[in-house]
Chains A and B, each alone.
Chain A
Amino acid sequence: MSTDVEHQTAAEPQAPPEPSLVGYVAQFDDVPSLMHAAEKTRDAGFKSFDCYTPFPVHGIDEAMGTKPTRLPFIVLCCAAIGSLTALGLQFFTNAWDYKYIISNKPYFSIPADMPVTFELTVLFSAFGALIGMLALNNLPRFYNRIFLIDPFQKVTTNGFFLGIESEDPKFHEEDTKSFLNSLSPTTVVPCMDPHESAALPKLLAPVAVFLLVIGLIPLVLIARMRAIPSDVPRIEILTDMDFQPKAKTQKASPVFADSRTMRPVIPGTLARGDFYEDVAFSEGLQPEQAESVDRSMLLPNAKNPDGTTFNLSTVPWVSELPVEPTDDLMARGQARYNIYCAVCHGMTGKGDGLVSRRAMELQAGTPGIGTWIKPITLYDEPIRNQPVGQLFNTITHGVRKMPGYASQIPIQDRWAIVLYVRALQKAGSATIDQLPAEEQQRLQAEAN
């Protein structure tokens, strides 16, 4: 290796190749003569030639016979690609990959997609126009051999030039020169390619390597930090709203005196849409006498002033359902009952729900623990005799250990459950005589 290098350095430097002709450049004094020359050159059949002027000249493209640009088609294609990209992106994100209903609009809705589609269409068109223009003009190009011609420096002030390149099939060393001379230019200069360029500065390579190494340091540091564990909280450059002074469920709040984030309902207020004039419907009370009822006595385990338990049967309950009993309501009541009530009361209302059975098992296994009371059977005489208003009140506020369900079950659904409970009671305490004749025969046949 080393001998090779020595050998090369010791050798005579190779002679630079001979400069070769790459074209002729004619200089003109004004626009009309340049235009005239361009027309002549066009008519002579030259293709690879160009005009160089200090400012844009109207009509020069026509004089040169320049074909209309293909740029509009490039831009159109880019615009179409932009539109389709935007629509595809929005279809993929909104209607395919992560369906998410926004404002009750369809997943893929054209009006909402228009702004993004418009923007991407314009963006892609602009890219297409810029990059396409550069590509069609063979740009970026930092250097042109024509710059080496001495008079060409006037092209930025008052020189008008026409250059024919040697690539042109009609180019001929002598003929082209005499043709240009026939256009009455001020001068005609050959454009030579010297096939050599100034050497790069010696410092360039070491400086580039040094900068590269410096540039790698941050990346290496980041890679190291990501690879090793650390107890220090991460540096938050952009917190991305990670820390927000907002109220969170079950967390203390510095805003309120009692530190409760979840605010209790303010007495006497109603949620929007929760006001019902019909107390028979909303509370299960008889409207005429409802005003005299002390509502606090309707809560579970309410005590009279003398300390005895308040007798709920003295309240003026409605005895007729305040809603129309329909098949739909019954079906709704069954569904709600099975969701909310059956876990304790059992699917049939006997008090044998899963929660109740498990609690009884635990209590039986370890006597002395637990305070579970088995729910009473809904078929019991006292319950059967309760007016529907009282059943409704029980669901609303609860009774003994049972909590109220007002917050979970809307009023209409509570009445549906009452209706279903009535049906359960009727079914659970029916005698065989009440069944249809066919049913009676079938059951008797089974018993036999």
Chain B
Amino acid sequence: MAHHGHTLPVEEPGTLEQNSGQLGTLALYAGVAGLLLAVIIAAISGNWARLQFSYLHNFTFALSISLGALFFVLIQHITRAGWSAVVRRLAEILTNGFVPLVVMFLPILFLVISGSDTLFLWNNPEVASHDPLLNHKQIYLNPTWFTVRAVAYFAFWILCARFYLMTSARQDKTGDIQLSLKMERYAAVSLILFALSLTFGAIDWIMSLDPRWFSTIIGVYYFANANVAFYATLAIMVFMANRNGVLNQTVNAEHRHDIGKLLFGFNCFWAYIAFSQYLLYWYANIPEETMWYMRRQENGWEIISMLLIVGHFVIPFLGLMSRTVKRNPVQLTSWAVFLLVMCWIDLYWLIIPEVSPETPAFGLIDIFSLLGVVGLFTFGLVKLSADFNLLAVKDPRLQESLAFHNI
């Protein structure tokens, strides 16, 4: 709104690698060490199944951040959003995570192709042919088709993410407005493909862990969670950057306020979706649907379920509501960390009951898997972002974003 008539100064903040210090190296060590320790624990306890589920859990967690980032980039372009120009590059950098993620997906893919049914019961031909329900689903849930789909999802995500990052980086040099318009044009079709790939990805990698269960809302559920995880990550990134003296002149309370609003809004959206799913199952009371919730309502899992209601919704709903909290860097970042943990627990609650219905206790194997997957994910982000500024310095909407004011 308030164009002050003069151009605000823009700093050149440098690249992620320049500003992250030893983060990349540390992340690499942490990632390798984490995965090694997780494997050692699995070997000692002999619980290889738990390792696979923990790995998948943390894989979906890291993936959700990159998916949320990609969605953010697409939405900013298709709506011609002005306020977000100062933080859009951070999201674009986060979408680089698809590259380390596709590497980390290979073990899962290998297990499925080699015929392991530990993660996916539908991959057991014996069970699948005798269970009428699985028999029907075999046309969709089989190793070949699973592989084809996974390749398609990652191909789209990586291509789309690279396109937006590279085009935006090219604009850093030329300042060509046509590039913004081009990105806007591609955003519509990308959003459709994004919705399809995310939904079917969630169906393949989360829902089909219990192949007899079905939920028509699982894609939206994962999408909501991905958005919360992304906005939390974005708030933390902004905070870290500012603490390191980067982006101090560009990202201010107004932008934090908007990130906080979106974090708050998508967290309410998550609660809405989670409750919608629960209410319908609860009302219809159909055994093949309710068994999924039964598993999460006994043997201590009910504590995690209640924790999600209170911790993922009620507490942050009240805590993040205030305008003051959203504009305060420390308070917003605290809530972002809190919600990121809740997103992790939410995915834990989605995935781990399928391997450990008897107890919700999480152990070192979960911590080390988290360290391993997120470590390698971060290492990939830093390495791949060597050439990119932390700010889209010649974005045509940058001035609008700098002058942005919440009413």
Contact = CB atoms under 8 A, between A and B. Distances in A.
Contact of A58 (B282, B283, B285, B407): B407
Interface residues of A, number: 10
11 contacts: A58-B2, A58-B407, A103-B283, A104-B285, A111-B275, A111-B278, A111-B279, A112-B282, A112-B283, A114-B279, A115-B279
B285 A114 contact: no
Contacts of A273: none
Contacts of A112: 279, 282-283
Contacts of A58: 1-2, 405, 407
B407 A56 contact: yes
A226 to B, nearest CB: 42
B1 A114 contact: no
Interface string B247-284: 00000000000000000000000000001001100110
A103 B279 contact: no
A378 B21 CA distance: 100
Interface in B372-407: 405, 407
B146 to A, nearest CB: 34
Query: Residue among A58, A104, A115 with the most chain B CB within 10 A?
Result: A58
Contacts of B282: 111-112
Contacts of A111: 275, 278-279, 282-283
Interface of B: 1-2, 275, 278-279, 282-283, 285, 405, 407
Interface string A58-72: 110000000000000
Given A58-B2, A111-B279, A103 B285 contact: yes
A59 B406 CA distance: 10
Nearest to B282: A111
Contact of A59 (B275, B283, B405): B405
Nearest to B278: A111
Interface of A: 56, 58-59, 103-105, 111-112, 114-115
Given A56-B407, A103-B283, A103-B285, 17 more contacts: A56-B1, A58-B1, A58-B405, A58-B407, A59-B405, A105-B283, A111-B275, A111-B278, A111-B279, A111-B282, A111-B283, A112-B279, A112-B282, A112-B283, A114-B275, A114-B279, A115-B279
B25 to A, nearest CB: 44
B4 to A, nearest CB: 10
A114 B1 CA distance: 39
Contacts of A103: 283, 285
Contacts of B2: 58
A111 B277 CA distance: 11
Contacts of A105: 283
Contacts of B279: 111-112, 114-115
A106 to B, nearest CB: 11
A31 to B, nearest CB: 9
Contacts of A56: 1, 407
Contacts of A104: 285
A104 B290 CA distance: 15
A277 B283 CA distance: 36
Nearest to A76: B321
Nearest to A102: B283
Ranked 5 nearest A-B pairs via Cβ? A58-B405, A58-B2, A111-B282, A111-B279, A114-B275
A40 B23 CA distance: 50
A58 B407 CA distance: 7
A185 B2 CA distance: 23
B313 to A, nearest CB: 12
Nearest to B318: A76
B82 to A, nearest CB: 14
A104 B283 CA distance: 10
Nearest to B275: A114
Query: Residue among A104, A105, A111, A114 with the most chain B CB within 10 A?
Result: A111
Contacts of B275: 111, 114
Contacts of B283: 103, 105, 111-112
A391 B348 CA distance: 63
A160 to B, nearest CB: 15
A269 to B, nearest CB: 26
Nearest to B404: A58
Contacts of B285: 103-104
A115 B275 CA distance: 10
A103 B282 CA distance: 10
A105 B290 CA distance: 14
Contacts of B1: 56, 58
B231 to A, nearest CB: 22
A114 B279 CA distance: 9
A437 B405 CA distance: 103
Nearest to B281: A111
Contacts of B407: 56, 58
A105 B285 CA distance: 10
Nearest to A31: B2
Contacts of B405: 58-59
Nearest to A112: B283
A396 B122 CA distance: 50
A146 to B, nearest CB: 24
A111 B290 CA distance: 14
B45 to A, nearest CB: 38
Nearest to B285: A103
A394 B283 CA distance: 44
Nearest to A104: B285
A104 B284 CA distance: 11
A115 B283 CA distance: 13
A111 B405 CA distance: 40
